[in-house]
Chain A
Amino acid sequence: MTIRVIKPGLSTTVQDRGRFGYAHLGISPAGAADGLSLRIANLLIGNDEYAPALEMALLGATLEFDKPAVVAISGAGCECKVGSYRIVANSAIRVEAGSVLQCGSTTDGARCYLAIRGGVDVGSVMGSASTDIRGRFGGYEGRRLQAGDVLHLGYANQAQPRRLRTGALEEIRERRAIRVTSGAQRDWFSDESYAKFLDASYTVSEQSDRAGLRLKGEAISTRETKQLLTDGIPLGAVQVPQDGQPIILFVDQQTTGGYPKIASVIAADMHRIGQLRPRDEVRFSGVSIPDAIDALREQERWLTTVWQD
């Protein structure tokens, strides 16, 4: 059973949960930008929730299946067709041998996930199938998919396909501010600067990718004149370089950096960062660490309640 790439889309990569335990070697986690959608797509077809799947950014891929397969699409809205039939997202779909699945542009977010029963088999590098674009390893030959690539499937299915309750996913689509906790260098910024950061509305710049989302808007200044000694960067840290325009460091981030970090996106909102598109508006709201962890627990509980029966 193989899948042939006819058109690769804009930036289609193999991703799973990500690569952990190698930050001290300078290796970023990579992994799905919207891990929640990856899990839902996999669970719909009975795969392990973090089985390797295709992450498609802004414009999806066109793929030919040589044998029957079961797939699910989740994440950003995206018009997908098999032949001339439109297929629905967030549902297990059977694709017949020889058919062509065509994924269009995303309509309400940046990335959608195509999970295939069995999972995409690209082997594992340092414990993960995720593509490390900058390091050129993991995933499919360490790069974005290209026309003519042939993907093989694995055996990551252990469970029965599932169905979502009607309207179950509407809750996570709700637009609200991205929640943040104080960053490691919060005290490099005055209370006024921090308040300004939380009040401001930013626009996601075109120069944004999986390594970092560059924001444009209210400039934030530090009260420190000293230079930060390069230190570790947690996932979702918001750093403020000299020009005062914040950058959200994301899954392909550098593991260390030298700019002060004013805030950190909470784990429960990380999937929403993965759905931000250039020109989207971003606002932040400050929460405490206990509230952030409660939100994560609540999200995990919610994920168990979205299924029928």
Chain B
Amino acid sequence: MTITLTINGTRRTVEIDPGERLLDLLRREGVMGVKIGCGTGDCGACAVLVNGRAVNSCLLYAAKADGAEVITVEGLEKDGALHPVQEAFLDEGGIQCGYCTPGMVISTVDLLSRNPNPSEAEIRQALSGNLCRCTGYVKQIRAVKRAAERMRGGGGDD
């Protein structure tokens, strides 16, 4: 079957298998920032924004994204400059091994688009569907705080 969707700002008409996952479609289209992790919605490495909300692309039928706007970690930069959330993850050492990072960043972008000033509890809740294989969450949580400060215009360079 054929669907049309927007991937990182580019409208594409693609041929898909009716039972395939959005995750597989995106990677076939060369969008490799979307990681294959558990495949069961537990780890969040495959998270992407669909119409502005972060979802597990391993649990979503590609066909359900017909007509949708999909943004992956590759689509966050603007004119060659990283998104403030990406910058904050770099600055705080929140990248670690990097495998969970695209998903963590996507969940953070969703959170901050709706809650510019989250508490630590809200940050932990927002990242609760993203597992870090390095088993450390301290730096990611700091990165989310810093990104929020910067996006509110507070600088966050203290």
Chains A and B form a bound pair = no
Interface residues of A (CB under 8 A from B): none
Q: Which residues in B have some Cβ–Cβ distance to A below 8 Å?
A: none
